Amino acid sequence: LVLENELRGAVERNEILVYYQPLIDLHTRQVVALEALVRWQHPTHGLVSPAKFIPIAEANGLIVPIGEWVLRTACAQNRAWQLAGISPIRISVNLSARQFEQPNLVEVVRQILEETGLEPSYLELEVTESFLMSDIQRSVQILQQLRELGICLALDDFGTGYSSLNYLKRLPINMLKIDRSFVQDVTSNPDSAAVTDAIIALAKSLRLNITAEGVETQDQLDYLQIRGCDEGQGFYFSRPVPVDTITQMLKESS
């Protein structure tokens, strides 16, 4: 409860930060995208994980202004990197169910793109099956409108939700992100390997790009690369890091 009260105003007090984690093209080994991951720099508790405060913010609606702030910050930062001469990459931002329910979501995204001057193809939004499936007809409509802005859409945590394949083929998305629970033991658990193989095959037959999350070892990377995964993300490459650290990494590889 204390945390909840303190979360109100955390944005205004500049306590909310965006960390960035690279996504690597497994064919070229270049950084092709960054996922924006929010953090709360609490004055006494230190760095609070989103796993702790996002559920609170979801429950009381604060996720809407916080999520919008993260989106604006990430788009503005990506534009700033491009202006600084860094090779253009996508910025990927997580959307919460509450944001997706807002009637003005598409307009907010359009406005942020306009305001920051970021070319839409360099923005990706991550959505999850669970909140799309509650009203599939509306979801398809909203996703279509977002696609028409020219941005990319990724289905996050794929394999953990309840999506029927019949729904999946109707979703106008570009990318599937294999949940890290499968990647974690893909080289030791035949069931995880089977699910991972099936998701990759599914993505290919639907002509979707495929990212593996939670890559932590060379063996996992080798497995995913041989199976034809397009992109990888995980501690093997880099943890989520503060903006100054990622800026340095991008400059060194540009």
Query: In DSSP terms, which residues pair with 176 in a beta bridge?
Result: 155, 210
Give the x/- contact pattern for Mn ion in 108-127, rule: CB under 5 A: ------------------x-
Cα dihedral sign for 237, 242, 248, 250? positive
Q: Tokens at residue 167, please?
A: 């729904």
**Are the beta carbons of 171 and 132 closer than 8 angstroms?**
yes
Residue 89 interacts, among Mn ion, ligand G, Na ion, none and using kind-specific CB cut-offs from 5 to 8 Å, with none
Give the x/- contact pattern for ligand G in 193-232, rule: CB under 6 A: --------------------xxxx----------------
Select the residue whose beta carbon is closest to Na ion and give its number: 157
Specify burial of residue 18 (Cβ count, 10 A radius: 0-12, 13-18, 19+).
Answer: buried
CA 157 from chain centre, in angstroms, equals: 10
**Are the beta carbons of 242 and 37 closer than 8 angstroms?**
no
**Selected range binding Na ion among 88-96, 145-153, 205-213, 235-243, rule: CB under 5 A:** 205-213
Per CB under 5 A, 157 contacts Na ion: yes
Residue ranges that bind ligand G, judged by CB under 6 A: 21, 37-38, 49-51, 54, 67, 70, 94, 96, 156-157, 180, 213-216, 233-235, 240
Residue ranges that bind Mn ion, judged by CB under 5 A: 94, 126, 156
